[in-house]
Structure 1
Amino acid sequence: MPDLPPSVVGGGRRFVPQVGWQQLFELRARAFPGRTALVADDVAVSFGDLCRWSGRLANGLRAAGAVPGSVVACAMSRSVRAILAPLAVAKAGAVYLPLDPGLPPARRALILAEARPAVLLTDVPELAADADVVLTPENWRRELAARPGDGDAGTRPGDAAYVVCTSGSTGRPKGVVVGHRSLVNLYGELAARLFPAGGEPQRVAHGLPLAFDAAWNPLLWLVGGHELHLVPDDVRADPEQYVRFVRERRLDVVEAVPAQLTGLVDAGLLTAGTCPRMLLMGGEAVPPPLWTRLRATPGLTAVNLYGPTECTVFTTFCRVADQAEPAIGRPIANTSVRVVDPHDRRPVPVGEPGELLVGGASLALGYLGDAALTAERFGTAPQRWYRTGDRCRCEPDGTLRWLGRFDDQVKIRGHRVEPAEAERALLALPGVRQALVRGEDGVLVAYVVLGSGTPAALRERLAETLPEYLVPAIVEVGALPVGRTGKVDRRATRIAPRPVAMTPAETVVAAAFRSQLGVVSVAPDSDFFALGGHSLSAAALAARLRARGVPCSLRDVLRRRTVARIAELVPDIPEGGAP
């Protein structure tokens, strides 16, 4: 683009309707009231029913105290009600704050104290006592049928639409506030680039966490008239079940973070009869082997979507077929990016690395209740640019490539994590003398010097206050490495754990633990989940062990958990070799 300086790329212009995102949904519901909008709990719900129910629930929220501009916190199970909630909040003119019901109570209380919602909406029995509006599976249809539905509160494009809480280096989560205008702009991008020509309805998988900002992508496919299939929790946690779900439902579109997508591909997602028409991925860097496999799959459209939470889900777009190596592509419409020197913020020459800044319609409104941080990260009007902290390079053709971070921030299964938050929580626990937390190969690892206690006990304590993705794998060490100045060397390439003795069978399983989790310290009593494992990586571990001749299933990993218990499944090892 000749009118832009080096390493500055614009995504072009596109008209953005001056409406709230839910008004686009209402237009769709009026046009196709009988078309299936949502399949969840094995129940199909039409656009007309979803529109009516959300209007009635909006009145319930108003009666409980929601007013235009107020925050409504929603802690919902994966059910029809989870899709109903953001629609109802928007119709009430309020701001949607998704809450994971599985968060530790202390973490949930911290978020609620920061957001100060006018209403807490839930269908989770454990939270019902604290909620202003409760929708149980038994009463939600009856209660909605009894309410009138007055329609929309008249949302304006500049109003806030939702808040997503991210990790904060100060030890407190940050609330990112995104406006309706940005969401409608994102919808326009999906409609122009991804929706099929002619408007043929697609079956779209929603397998993303409900409190994840990327969960807006499948919801906007719904707004576009497509059929949304909500993937149950037990299915999304098991790649083999997920692939069967895609095959049996004949789903056309699947979106996942690269780590999960790798598991789905390994489980057979790309085989004939299973492979969807389109795969979308984002939230973290795409490994080159996955990129290559997707490029080699005939008839598949695979797309990499990049964007911080502060830039409304995704702000750049790259079709895998267009690039031989992983790239984040070019900005979406009404959005510009620039690659600058991180010190003076002047654009760097094409091909040189620098910090990526984002401007335009993608930008969030700012941080909830923190004007100073908003000004620091976004700048001030009229020329607002968000400092991503991402190290990128702009190619001569305008393609952007992600090269890493300028700070210690990492992505864990798509969640943005500040290692300092986990480190602060560790140092506050009794028995911890020193701690260093950092991201290593997509895993959050804590190296600790203990005066008392055990790594397993520390993880249990951390899990009481931190969300699961923020609880690090804990490696006990005798001392932390120091540099010439005497300060802890946070960039040390290897930190030696305490040595342990293992049987040959345990050695096989420990090697699989290390390969899967990217940790160096594994002992016979090491718990896979205490080392940072989760349901998706547990399925991958089982597959890794089966490839080595160990008859291990996902259920075995979930039940046995430790190196020693899983090693009981290892067949007799021939002399001098592994199975």
Structure 2
Amino acid sequence: MSGVARRLPRVTWCDLFESQARKAPGRVCLVADEVSWTFHELDLWAERLAQVLRNAGASPGTVVACAMTRSVRAVLGVLATAKAAAVHLPIDPALPTARLYAILADARPSVVLTDVESLAERADVVLSTEDWKAELAGHTGHRSPGAVAGPAYLVYTSGSTGLPKGVLVGHRSLVNLCGELADRFFPAGRGPQRVAHGLPLVFDASWNPLSWLAGGHELHLVPDPVRTDPGSYVDFVREHRLSVVEAVPAHMSALLEAGLLDGPARPRMLLMGGEAIGQDLWSQLRGAAEVTAVNLYGPTECTVFTTSCGLDERATPSIGRPIGNTTAQVVDEELRPVPIGEPGELLISGSCLALGYLGRPELTADRFVTAGERRYRTGDRCRLAADGHLEWLGRLDDQVKIRGHRVEPGEVEQALLASPGVRQAAVRVEGTDPRLVAYVVLDTGTVTRLRERLRAVLPAYLLPSAVIPLDAMPLGPTGKIDRAALAPPVPVRRAVVLTSPQKLVAAAFRVQLEIPAVDADSDFFDLGGHSLSAAALAARLRALGVPCSLRDVLVRRTVARIAELVPTQEKGVTP
């Protein structure tokens, strides 16, 4: 099945933005750091930064690594890199040092741009958080033609070998994405929309809201403390009268629970992607009045999203139909089409395809197969329904999406096996809210020391929710680890007396984290909690009468500390 054929103009994403700056220079295009920026202002400062990057060594086709905080400077970094006809590589400055340097060593950027003081020694261009305008004011810049057929950005994803792999995406694919948004998503005749950018800037999905910016709309960069707290995020949407909000499904559920669609001041379009949508969320949004909700699907290798499905199109979850200039096909192990209704692997071809993996021709040849036309093997198990919609059935390998991040459990296993004292390790995904659980056999050391080691080498989204020590791994008939038989050892029950407030909080921990038991010293985050589930825990406790905020959970962390917040009248209540 194929999407609509669309003529692609020979321009870059940056050309589309500059066109908007010429047509409406005085219109607000970005609200960030509590400041409104016009198209002219953003274009001007990006041009000046582009000249600084050129002077530092950026040239067409070279990589510019941007390790930036969430601010207007990060958006300028994207624009300035494009204006220099270079390749944008977003890097989370909070990454463990070893992983950050591994990415830099693999990408070999010509310029490293940062506004983070701790990275200043490694960077070629440093923008201070206070005086960056003064640093750029002396540069006038000049426009250089964009490399229309060349790479636009580079994104690193989890790799099963233990090393992240870089996906290189071209300008043509990015412009095709902008064309899809313009044709099918930008509301016709309703003028510029106010769009929330609440996605991590290192996600390839962050190009989606940026494309609304290039389409002439007004982008609002949601601050970090706000975007991780659903209640604050909802307040931000109302205060700024935002009409378009995009989030991974787990985050969208939290926003809905916090009241995103309550009252008249609510968004009119909700976009979701990054992980599978459950039936409950699908049904809830289908029933929402005057709201357009859309499910977006697409691997990093296919430029943000490849298929889309309006939730009003069908009653059950679907990833929909291909976007323009894109073809989707469900095939068997021999890459032959399977009948309608039969499961198989999803293959994608067309203008959305990435250029390949940086410096890995063998991997590129394995995943981007050529048989008549270039096609990407997604590794996703799908089927084509009789109504023409694609249904996602899971993965063919161990890869999984956790809170929108693509995760290879094998990468975590490699990190565990590389740690001193670890004889064996196995990692699998558990729970209805997917989380990584690691099982290890230790020769020396402790789980606590092992966790400390992992925090130093893995980003937060790859950290296992639990690390469970075993005396020995269960083995199958062939002598390999029997992953299906992995289970926590039955604990020896010890007499633990919880106070009534602690029992109330412990019960909330158990329900939120889907675990059987906790004690007074149990740490919410060591048990697998994260920022979204922490916000949900706080909301759950508030519903029980406990004045608990997200910050309380982040700071107090344990059952005993959070139980100190239980009001006096609740102290005698046993849940």
What TM bracket, shorter-length normalisation? over 0.9
1:55, distance to aligned residue in structure 2 (A)? 1.2
1:302, distance to aligned residue in structure 2 (A)? 0.5
Aligned pairs for 1:44-83 within 5 A? 44-83=36-75
> 1: distance between equivalents of 2:517 and 2:400?
21
- CA distance 1:137–1:552, shift in 2 (3 Å): closer
SS in 1 for 2:271: strand
Counterpart of 1:4?
none
Q: Deviations over 1:372-420 (max 9, x none)?
A: 1001000138611111111111111210111111111111110100001
Counterpart of 2:411?
421
The alignment status of 1:329 with 2:320, answered yes or no, reads yes
- CA distance 1:550–1:63, shift in 2 (3 Å): same
- CA distance 1:287–1:493, shift in 2 (3 Å): farther
SS in 2 for 1:28: helix
Letter in 1 for 2:57: G
Counterpart of 2:203?
212
Counterpart of 1:104?
96
The alignment status of 1:534 with 2:530, answered yes or no, reads yes
Conserved 8 A contact 1:160-1:177: yes
Q: Deviations over 1:411-467 (max 9, x none)?
A: 111010000111111122223333221122321111233444443332221111111
Please point out which of 250, 273, 280 is paired with 1:259: 250
> 2: distance between equivalents of 1:245 and 1:237?
12
Aligned pairs for 1:391-406 within 5 A? 391-406=381-396
> 2: distance between equivalents of 1:227 and 1:262?
25
Letter in 2 for 1:487: K
1:198, distance to aligned residue in structure 2 (A)? 2.1
> 2: distance between equivalents of 1:575 and 1:123?
48
Q: Deviations over 1:7-54 (max 9, x none)?
A: xx1112011111111001111100000000100011011001111111
TM-score by length of 2: 0.95
Counterpart of 2:76?
84
Please point out which of 489, 493, 498 is paired with 2:482: 489
Conserved 8 A contact 2:60-2:147: no
SS in 2 for 1:326: coil
> Structure 1: where are the runs of 5+ without partners?
1-8
Please point out which of 410, 425, 440 is paired with 1:435: 425
Aligned pairs for 1:381-396 within 5 A? 383-396=373-386
Counterpart of 1:320?
311
Q: Deviations over 1:464-503 (max 9, x none)?
A: 1111101111232434333344432112374445345443
- CA distance 1:511–1:249, shift in 2 (3 Å): same
> 1: distance between equivalents of 2:292 and 2:265?
14
SS in 1 for 2:168: strand
Counterpart of 1:36?
28
Letter in 2 for 1:516: Q
- CA distance 1:122–1:381, shift in 2 (3 Å): farther
Letter in 1 for 2:173: S
> 2: distance between equivalents of 1:454 and 1:70?
44
Please point out which of 539, 548, 552 is paired with 1:552: 548
- CA distance 1:398–1:260, shift in 2 (3 Å): same
Counterpart of 2:270?
279
Letter in 1 for 2:548: C
Please point out which of 158, 176, 181 is paired with 2:172: 181
Conserved 8 A contact 1:164-1:175: yes
Letter in 1 for 2:48: R
Counterpart of 1:155?
146
Conserved 8 A contact 1:98-1:210: yes
Letter in 1 for 2:556: R
Aligned pairs for 1:219-368 within 5 A? 219-341=210-332, 343-368=333-358
Q: What RMSD in Å do the two structures reach over aligned CA positions?
A: 2.1
> 1: distance between equivalents of 2:417 and 2:510?
25
> 2: distance between equivalents of 1:401 and 1:458?
40
Conserved 8 A contact 1:167-1:418: yes
> 1: distance between equivalents of 2:566 and 2:190?
53
> 1: distance between equivalents of 2:179 and 2:511?
42
Q: Could you tell me the percent identity over the aligned residues?
A: 64
Please point out which of 488, 493, 497 is paired with 1:503: 497
> 1: distance between equivalents of 2:90 and 2:318?
30
SS in 1 for 2:481: coil
Conserved 8 A contact 1:431-1:452: yes
- CA distance 1:149–1:177, shift in 2 (3 Å): same
> 1: distance between equivalents of 2:515 and 2:490?
10
Conserved 8 A contact 2:474-2:486: no
> 2: distance between equivalents of 1:544 and 1:537?
10
SS in 1 for 2:349: strand
SS in 1 for 2:137: helix
- Count the aligned residue pairs: 569
1:553, distance to aligned residue in structure 2 (A)? 2.4
> 1: distance between equivalents of 2:486 and 2:310?
34
Conserved 8 A contact 1:160-1:178: yes
The alignment status of 1:561 with 2:557, answered yes or no, reads yes
1:510, distance to aligned residue in structure 2 (A)? 4.0
1:109, distance to aligned residue in structure 2 (A)? 0.3
> 1: distance between equivalents of 2:567 and 2:478?
51
Please point out which of 70, 93, 116 is paired with 1:124: 116
SS in 1 for 2:370: coil
Conserved 8 A contact 1:37-1:46: yes
1:509, distance to aligned residue in structure 2 (A)? 3.6
Conserved 8 A contact 1:443-1:517: no
- CA distance 1:210–1:500, shift in 2 (3 Å): farther
SS in 2 for 1:200: coil
Counterpart of 1:135?
127
> 2: distance between equivalents of 1:234 and 1:48?
29
Counterpart of 1:5?
none
> 2: distance between equivalents of 1:374 and 1:523?
49
> 2: distance between equivalents of 1:576 and 1:61?
64
Q: Deviations over 1:185-228 (max 9, x none)?
A: 00000001110102600100000000000000010000001000
Conserved 8 A contact 1:310-1:364: yes
Conserved 8 A contact 2:468-2:488: no
Counterpart of 2:155?
164
Letter in 2 for 1:168: G
> 2: distance between equivalents of 1:198 and 1:271?
26
> 2: distance between equivalents of 1:170 and 1:354?
25
> Structure 2: where are the runs of 5+ without partners?
none
- CA distance 1:111–1:288, shift in 2 (3 Å): same
- CA distance 1:52–1:450, shift in 2 (3 Å): same
